[in-house]
Structure 1
Amino acid sequence: METEGILVQSIYYGKIGREDTERLMERYGREGSFLLRDSETVQGAYCLCVRKTPFVHTYRLVYSSDGCCVQLVSGERLECFRSLERLIESYRGVAFDVNIVPLCHPLDKTQLRDNNQGQEHLYMEV
Protein backbone atom coordinates (compact mmCIF):
# COMPACT_ATOMS: atom_id res chain seq x y z
CA MET A 1 0.00 0.00 0.00
CA GLU A 2 2.98 2.30 0.58
CA THR A 3 3.70 2.38 -3.15
CA GLU A 4 0.24 3.72 -3.97
CA GLY A 5 -0.58 7.39 -4.36
CA ILE A 6 -2.07 9.80 -1.84
CA LEU A 7 -5.67 9.08 -2.89
CA VAL A 8 -5.38 5.35 -2.20
CA GLN A 9 -3.53 5.89 1.07
CA SER A 10 -6.17 8.36 2.29
CA ILE A 11 -9.10 5.99 1.62
CA TYR A 12 -7.42 2.76 2.77
CA TYR A 13 -8.91 1.66 6.10
CA GLY A 14 -7.04 -1.65 6.50
CA LYS A 15 -8.74 -4.48 8.41
CA ILE A 16 -12.12 -2.86 8.89
CA GLY A 17 -15.07 -5.22 8.59
CA ARG A 18 -18.22 -5.00 6.49
CA GLU A 19 -20.45 -3.85 9.36
CA ASP A 20 -18.02 -1.12 10.44
CA THR A 21 -17.74 -0.02 6.82
CA GLU A 22 -21.51 0.27 6.54
CA ARG A 23 -21.67 2.31 9.77
CA LEU A 24 -18.93 4.64 8.51
CA MET A 25 -20.68 5.13 5.20
CA GLU A 26 -24.01 5.80 6.91
CA ARG A 27 -22.51 8.33 9.31
CA TYR A 28 -19.94 10.13 7.16
CA GLY A 29 -20.69 9.13 3.59
CA ARG A 30 -23.06 10.37 0.96
CA GLU A 31 -24.21 9.02 -2.37
CA GLY A 32 -21.08 7.91 -4.25
CA SER A 33 -18.73 7.94 -1.22
CA PHE A 34 -16.09 5.22 -1.40
CA LEU A 35 -13.28 3.64 0.60
CA LEU A 36 -10.83 0.78 0.33
CA ARG A 37 -10.35 -1.97 2.91
CA ASP A 38 -8.80 -5.42 3.23
CA SER A 39 -10.96 -8.34 2.16
CA GLU A 40 -12.21 -10.39 5.09
CA THR A 41 -12.39 -13.59 3.06
CA VAL A 42 -9.56 -13.49 0.49
CA GLN A 43 -6.03 -12.97 1.80
CA GLY A 44 -4.18 -10.23 -0.09
CA ALA A 45 -7.29 -8.89 -1.82
CA TYR A 46 -8.92 -5.53 -1.22
CA CYS A 47 -12.54 -4.43 -1.21
CA LEU A 48 -13.70 -1.23 -2.81
CA CYS A 49 -16.85 -0.12 -0.96
CA VAL A 50 -19.22 2.45 -2.47
CA ARG A 51 -22.37 3.97 -1.00
CA LYS A 52 -25.40 3.92 -3.27
CA THR A 53 -28.46 4.34 -1.12
CA PRO A 54 -29.82 2.22 0.44
CA PHE A 55 -26.77 -0.07 0.18
CA VAL A 56 -23.01 -0.12 0.43
CA HIS A 57 -21.80 -2.01 -2.65
CA THR A 58 -18.58 -3.98 -2.22
CA TYR A 59 -16.29 -4.98 -5.08
CA ARG A 60 -13.35 -7.33 -4.60
CA LEU A 61 -10.10 -6.10 -6.13
CA VAL A 62 -7.60 -8.80 -7.03
CA TYR A 63 -4.12 -8.84 -8.51
CA SER A 64 -3.05 -10.86 -11.51
CA SER A 65 -0.09 -10.78 -13.86
CA ASP A 66 -1.96 -8.06 -15.77
CA GLY A 67 -2.36 -5.82 -12.71
CA CYS A 68 -5.26 -4.98 -10.39
CA CYS A 69 -8.86 -5.56 -11.43
CA VAL A 70 -12.41 -5.75 -10.10
CA GLN A 71 -13.69 -9.29 -9.65
CA LEU A 72 -17.47 -9.55 -9.84
CA VAL A 73 -19.54 -12.00 -7.79
CA SER A 74 -19.85 -14.15 -10.92
CA GLY A 75 -16.04 -14.50 -10.93
CA GLU A 76 -15.71 -12.37 -14.06
CA ARG A 77 -12.82 -9.92 -13.94
CA LEU A 78 -13.11 -6.47 -15.45
CA GLU A 79 -10.31 -4.48 -17.08
CA CYS A 80 -6.97 -4.65 -15.25
CA PHE A 81 -4.93 -1.59 -14.28
CA ARG A 82 -1.30 -1.23 -13.30
CA SER A 83 -2.17 0.27 -9.91
CA LEU A 84 -5.07 0.72 -7.51
CA GLU A 85 -4.84 4.45 -8.11
CA ARG A 86 -5.42 4.01 -11.87
CA LEU A 87 -8.28 1.59 -11.26
CA ILE A 88 -10.02 4.01 -8.90
CA GLU A 89 -9.45 7.01 -11.16
CA SER A 90 -10.94 5.11 -14.11
CA TYR A 91 -14.23 4.57 -12.22
CA ARG A 92 -14.47 8.07 -10.71
CA GLY A 93 -17.74 9.86 -11.38
CA VAL A 94 -18.62 8.11 -14.64
CA ALA A 95 -21.03 5.21 -14.98
CA PHE A 96 -19.48 3.84 -18.16
CA ASP A 97 -19.51 0.30 -16.79
CA VAL A 98 -22.93 -0.90 -15.68
CA ASN A 99 -21.30 -3.31 -13.21
CA ILE A 100 -19.70 -0.61 -11.04
CA VAL A 101 -21.36 2.17 -9.03
CA PRO A 102 -19.61 5.48 -9.90
CA LEU A 103 -16.98 6.57 -7.39
CA CYS A 104 -17.71 10.21 -6.57
CA HIS A 105 -16.50 11.13 -3.07
CA PRO A 106 -13.40 9.59 -1.45
CA LEU A 107 -14.07 8.94 2.25
CA ASP A 108 -10.72 10.32 3.40
CA LYS A 109 -9.96 8.83 6.82
CA THR A 110 -7.91 11.87 7.82
CA GLN A 111 -10.94 14.16 7.38
CA LEU A 112 -13.48 12.27 9.49
CA ARG A 113 -14.72 14.12 12.52
CA ASP A 114 -16.97 13.07 15.34
CA ASN A 115 -19.77 15.62 14.93
CA ASN A 116 -20.91 15.25 18.53
CA GLN A 117 -17.55 15.92 20.15
CA GLY A 118 -15.52 17.69 17.47
CA GLN A 119 -12.75 15.11 17.79
CA GLU A 120 -11.01 13.26 15.02
CA HIS A 121 -12.25 9.70 14.42
CA LEU A 122 -9.25 7.39 14.82
CA TYR A 123 -8.64 3.98 13.27
CA MET A 124 -6.12 1.36 14.19
CA GLU A 125 -4.90 -0.96 11.46
CA VAL A 126 -3.96 -4.40 12.78
Structure 2
Amino acid sequence: MENLPIYHGPIGKEEGERRLGQDGRDGCYLIRNSDSLAGVYCLCVLCKGFVYTYRLYQDDTGSWAAETTPGVPKRCFRQIKNLIRAFQKAEQGIAMPLLYPITAQGRADTQSLGSLSPPPGGHRSSIQQQMPNAVQKNRNQKEVRQTYG
Protein backbone atom coordinates (compact mmCIF):
# COMPACT_ATOMS: atom_id res chain seq x y z
CA MET A 1 0.00 0.00 0.00
CA GLU A 2 2.84 2.38 0.87
CA ASN A 3 3.99 2.46 -2.78
CA LEU A 4 0.59 3.57 -4.06
CA PRO A 5 0.63 7.36 -4.79
CA ILE A 6 -2.97 7.79 -3.58
CA TYR A 7 -2.23 6.22 -0.18
CA HIS A 8 -2.08 8.97 2.44
CA GLY A 9 -1.39 6.83 5.52
CA PRO A 10 -2.93 7.52 8.96
CA ILE A 11 -4.22 11.03 8.20
CA GLY A 12 -7.65 10.65 9.82
CA LYS A 13 -11.13 11.35 8.52
CA GLU A 14 -11.07 15.14 8.84
CA GLU A 15 -7.71 15.54 7.10
CA GLY A 16 -8.88 13.23 4.30
CA GLU A 17 -12.00 15.35 3.85
CA ARG A 18 -9.89 18.53 3.84
CA ARG A 19 -7.60 17.16 1.12
CA LEU A 20 -10.55 16.13 -1.05
CA GLY A 21 -12.24 19.46 -0.40
CA GLN A 22 -9.12 21.31 -1.52
CA ASP A 23 -9.40 19.66 -4.92
CA GLY A 24 -13.19 19.99 -4.96
CA ARG A 25 -13.93 17.94 -8.08
CA ASP A 26 -16.60 15.24 -8.02
CA GLY A 27 -14.77 11.95 -8.36
CA CYS A 28 -11.52 12.95 -6.66
CA TYR A 29 -10.35 10.20 -4.32
CA LEU A 30 -7.67 8.95 -1.95
CA ILE A 31 -6.92 6.02 0.34
CA ARG A 32 -6.13 6.40 4.04
CA ASN A 33 -5.91 4.17 7.11
CA SER A 34 -9.15 3.46 8.93
CA ASP A 35 -9.47 5.43 12.17
CA SER A 36 -11.43 2.66 13.87
CA LEU A 37 -10.19 -0.69 12.51
CA ALA A 38 -6.56 -1.78 12.46
CA GLY A 39 -5.42 -3.27 9.16
CA VAL A 40 -8.35 -1.77 7.26
CA TYR A 41 -8.11 1.08 4.80
CA CYS A 42 -10.64 3.63 3.61
CA LEU A 43 -11.30 4.64 0.03
CA CYS A 44 -12.69 8.18 0.16
CA VAL A 45 -14.38 9.85 -2.82
CA LEU A 46 -15.93 13.31 -3.17
CA CYS A 47 -19.42 13.48 -4.69
CA LYS A 48 -21.67 16.54 -4.72
CA GLY A 49 -19.86 18.16 -1.79
CA PHE A 50 -19.88 15.07 0.44
CA VAL A 51 -17.14 12.55 1.14
CA TYR A 52 -18.17 8.91 0.86
CA THR A 53 -15.96 6.39 2.64
CA TYR A 54 -15.70 2.72 1.70
CA ARG A 55 -13.73 0.19 3.74
CA LEU A 56 -11.03 -1.72 1.89
CA TYR A 57 -9.72 -4.91 3.38
CA GLN A 58 -7.59 -7.93 2.55
CA ASP A 59 -8.85 -11.46 3.14
CA ASP A 60 -6.79 -14.44 4.30
CA THR A 61 -5.67 -15.18 0.74
CA GLY A 62 -4.36 -11.63 0.23
CA SER A 63 -7.19 -10.56 -2.10
CA TRP A 64 -8.60 -7.05 -1.78
CA ALA A 65 -12.30 -6.17 -1.52
CA ALA A 66 -14.40 -3.08 -0.79
CA GLU A 67 -17.68 -2.69 1.05
CA THR A 68 -20.15 -1.31 -1.47
CA THR A 69 -23.88 -0.78 -1.94
CA PRO A 70 -26.02 -3.67 -0.64
CA GLY A 71 -26.97 -6.00 -3.46
CA VAL A 72 -23.78 -5.41 -5.42
CA PRO A 73 -21.85 -8.69 -5.55
CA LYS A 74 -18.58 -8.70 -3.62
CA ARG A 75 -15.57 -8.61 -5.93
CA CYS A 76 -12.06 -9.62 -4.94
CA PHE A 77 -8.88 -8.38 -6.58
CA ARG A 78 -5.36 -9.75 -6.29
CA GLN A 79 -3.89 -6.24 -6.29
CA ILE A 80 -5.23 -2.97 -4.91
CA LYS A 81 -4.50 -1.21 -8.21
CA ASN A 82 -6.93 -3.60 -9.92
CA LEU A 83 -9.64 -2.68 -7.41
CA ILE A 84 -9.04 1.02 -8.09
CA ARG A 85 -9.15 0.44 -11.85
CA ALA A 86 -12.49 -1.38 -11.52
CA PHE A 87 -14.00 1.48 -9.51
CA GLN A 88 -13.04 3.98 -12.20
CA LYS A 89 -16.01 2.64 -14.14
CA ALA A 90 -19.63 3.66 -13.52
CA GLU A 91 -22.18 1.58 -11.61
CA GLN A 92 -19.76 -0.34 -9.40
CA GLY A 93 -21.59 0.15 -6.10
CA ILE A 94 -19.97 3.42 -5.00
CA ALA A 95 -21.27 6.99 -5.14
CA MET A 96 -19.46 7.77 -8.37
CA PRO A 97 -16.49 6.55 -10.41
CA LEU A 98 -12.99 7.31 -9.20
CA LEU A 99 -11.86 10.02 -11.60
CA TYR A 100 -9.17 12.22 -10.06
CA PRO A 101 -6.51 10.67 -7.83
CA ILE A 102 -5.25 12.85 -4.99
CA THR A 103 -1.65 11.89 -4.40
CA ALA A 104 -0.07 11.93 -0.96
CA GLN A 105 1.65 15.17 -1.95
CA GLY A 106 -1.83 16.75 -1.87
CA ARG A 107 -2.32 17.32 -5.58
CA ALA A 108 -4.48 15.68 -8.22
CA ASP A 109 -2.18 14.17 -10.79
CA THR A 110 -3.73 11.62 -13.09
CA GLN A 111 -0.43 11.20 -14.93
CA SER A 112 1.34 9.90 -11.80
CA LEU A 113 -0.85 6.81 -11.70
CA GLY A 114 -0.25 5.94 -15.33
CA SER A 115 -2.57 3.01 -16.04
CA LEU A 116 -4.85 4.01 -13.17
CA SER A 117 -5.88 7.28 -14.82
CA PRO A 118 -9.52 7.55 -15.87
CA PRO A 119 -10.54 6.47 -19.35
CA PRO A 120 -10.74 9.19 -22.02
CA GLY A 121 -13.88 11.23 -21.52
CA GLY A 122 -13.99 10.26 -17.82
CA HIS A 123 -17.61 9.04 -17.68
CA ARG A 124 -19.43 10.19 -14.54
CA SER A 125 -22.46 8.41 -13.19
CA SER A 126 -25.24 10.02 -11.22
CA ILE A 127 -25.25 9.37 -7.48
CA GLN A 128 -27.04 6.18 -6.59
CA GLN A 129 -30.32 6.43 -4.72
CA GLN A 130 -29.46 3.82 -2.10
CA MET A 131 -26.14 4.26 -0.32
CA PRO A 132 -24.75 1.32 1.64
CA ASN A 133 -24.82 0.99 5.41
CA ALA A 134 -21.11 0.24 5.21
CA VAL A 135 -20.54 3.62 3.59
CA GLN A 136 -19.85 6.31 6.10
CA LYS A 137 -21.35 9.38 4.51
CA ASN A 138 -20.25 12.31 6.59
CA ARG A 139 -22.75 11.62 9.39
CA ASN A 140 -23.50 15.21 10.34
CA GLN A 141 -24.04 16.09 6.69
CA LYS A 142 -21.36 18.78 6.96
CA GLU A 143 -20.67 19.97 3.45
CA VAL A 144 -17.05 19.88 2.36
CA ARG A 145 -16.27 23.44 1.46
CA GLN A 146 -14.40 24.18 -1.73
CA THR A 147 -12.82 27.39 -0.42
CA TYR A 148 -9.53 25.91 0.70
CA GLY A 149 -6.58 27.84 -0.56
- The TM-score normalised by the length of structure 1 is 0.74
Aligned length: 107
CA contact (8 A) 2:56 2:67 kept: yes
CA contact (8 A) 1:33 1:50 kept: yes
Provide closer, same or farther for how the CA distance between residues 111 and 42 of structure 1 changes in structure 2, counting only shifts above 3 A: closer
The one-letter amino acid paired with 1:44 is: G
| 2:66 is aligned with 1:70 | yes
Candidates 94, 103, 106, aligned match of 2:98: 103
| 2:6 is aligned with 1:11 | yes
Structure 2: unaligned runs, 5 residues or longer:
109-147
* Identity fraction in percent: 36
Candidates 65, 86, 91, aligned match of 2:87: 91
Structure number with higher strand proportion:
1
| 2:60 is aligned with 1:60 | no
| 2:27 is aligned with 1:32 | yes
Determine the structure 2 residue equivalent to 1:81: 77
SS at match of 2:5: helix
Structure 1: unaligned runs, 5 residues or longer:
117-126
- The TM-score normalised by the length of structure 2 is 0.63
